[in-house]
Structure 1
Amino acid sequence: MSMWKQLVTLVRGSAHETGQSIVDKRAMTILDQQIRDAGTAQAKARDDLATLTARRRMVEKDVEGFTAQREKYEASARAAMQRGDMDLARQVAERLATIEADLSAKTPQIEEMRGAEDRMRGVIQSGDAKIEALRREVDVVRANESVQKAQAAVAGNYGGTLSQLGSAAESLQRMKERQAIQGEKFRAAAELEDMRSGADLDSKLKAAGLLQGSSSADDILARLSAPPAKDSLRLSDGSGDPKSLPRE
């Protein structure tokens, strides 16, 4: 029996969590509808206030009419009494009694209705202020919700961008490593080719100045500045001009 109670409690708890989740997701929609309902109630209250004000003004008109009738009948009663017509004066007095009874009944109503109007105005003003404050809060919450969604999207995109940049940087580093390895392969192959053909040995001899047929710029300048050999033979080319030829 205890297990069944626990299962029932679990089902009720799950239903509550599900309902609460739905309410939370649709909180803005529910709140907007509640604000609209409150606005409708405020409009109904304003209409009731207008009706009460209209009725109070009608009562005031009645009181004004009864007051005018009372003044008229009081003057008529005095005139009848002055002429000695007491029967007519009594009839007028009876009418005055009815008018004064109506005045006694309606005059307090006016004050009561005015008080009710003041209370309703206070309630309506308070309701309007609360609804307006609630609307401002809803606007702030809605704006914050939009900003947070935008921030979440930016954060997601930023994370994806960083991930893409990291992948691109890794790819670039791998390309550099492949190029460096390929360059070393090219240099190693060139060195092997020079060793096979003897070009590396010729380069060493040329650098040491021991390779025949090779001369540096300094060697050429030294040769050009050296005086001609004294034991060279002077030969004539048949034109009478002597020509100096080196001796073998």
Structure 2
Amino acid sequence: MFKLMTTLIRGRATDAADQFTDANALTILRQQLRDAADGVTRAKHSVAVVMAYASRERSTAERIAAQLADLESRAVEALKKDRDDLAMEAASAIANLEEEQAATEKAMLHYDTETRRLREQLSLAEHRLRSLQRGKQIADAAQRTQKLRGTMPDGVINSLRDAEETLARLQARQAHAESIETAMTELNSTSSAQATSDKLAAAGCGAPLRSEAANVIERLRARVA
């Protein structure tokens, strides 16, 4: 029982933490991106420091190379003049400079390797940061859209729906009225034509439209015969 209670407490704590994270995800993301941007800035400074050290070592190497060339030239001149003492002193100085030169070259190699590694990591970090920033922009836009959608009052939707229904009824009545008007026009036209035909027939213009009594008697007599 105690184990179940412990598991339940841990589960509720995890659920609460997840709900809190989900509710504040965009705010958390913004701060994480600010932290990441600060980290990238510090990384750039570190690369710049290493590059400065490497530049200093290259300057030292150039100075040592110039000193070696000068000492070797002077040592040769001393030997030509049988000044072995000066030549030996120059040789000792040359040996010390060569040791310093070897150490400097080793330091330069180390700085160059470290600079390449840091620049690669910095480039990858900047690429990932830009990708995350684009994703944050999309998330910001989506959240603003959701807020606007959520602030639309229900009354506005209902009013629009009612207006659409009213417009539909009005259009239906107008269409019906137009149909009636068309039918009345056709009826009036037919009645007018019929009246004109009757008037013409009564005046003896053309065949009569209605059977007269005399015509009916003649037709009946013909059937009797």
Kindly, what percent of the aligned residue pairs are identical? 25
Spell out, residue by residue over 1:125-181, the C-alpha distance to the aligned partner (whole angstroms, 9 max, x if none). 211111111011111011112212322333845554478x49xx9xxxxxxxxxxxx
Q: Residue 14 of structure 1 aligns with which residue?
A: 12
Q: Residue 201 of structure 1 aligns with which residue?
A: none
Q: Residue 82 of structure 1 aligns with which residue?
A: 80
Specify every segment of 5 or more residues in structure 2 that has no aligned partner in the other structure, as ranges. 167-225
1:30 aligned partner, one-letter code: I
Tell whether 2:46 aligns with 1:48: yes
Q: Distance in 2 between matches of 1:125 and 1:155?
A: 48
Q: Residue 145 of structure 1 aligns with which residue?
A: 143
Q: Distance in 2 between matches of 1:156 and 1:39?
A: 42
Aligned runs of 1:39-188 on 2, under 5 Å?
Answer: 39-154=37-152, 156-161=154-159, 165=162
* TM value normalised by structure 2: 0.68
Q: What SS class does the counterpart of residue 11 from structure 2 fall into?
A: helix
Q: Distance in 2 between matches of 1:14 and 1:134?
A: 31
For structure 1, which segment, 118-127 or 98-107, has the greater mean C-alpha deviation from structure 2 after superposition?
A: 118-127
| RMSD across aligned positions (CA) | 2.1
* TM value normalised by structure 1: 0.62
Q: CA deviation at 1:111?
A: 2.5
Q: Residue 25 of structure 2 aligns with which residue?
A: 27
| Higher relative contact order (CA closer than 8 Å, sequence separation 6+) | 2
Q: CA deviation at 1:92?
A: 0.6
1:86 aligned partner, one-letter code: D
Q: What SS class does the counterpart of residue 154 from structure 1 fall into?
A: coil
Q: Is the radius of gyration larger for structure 1 or structure 2? A: 1
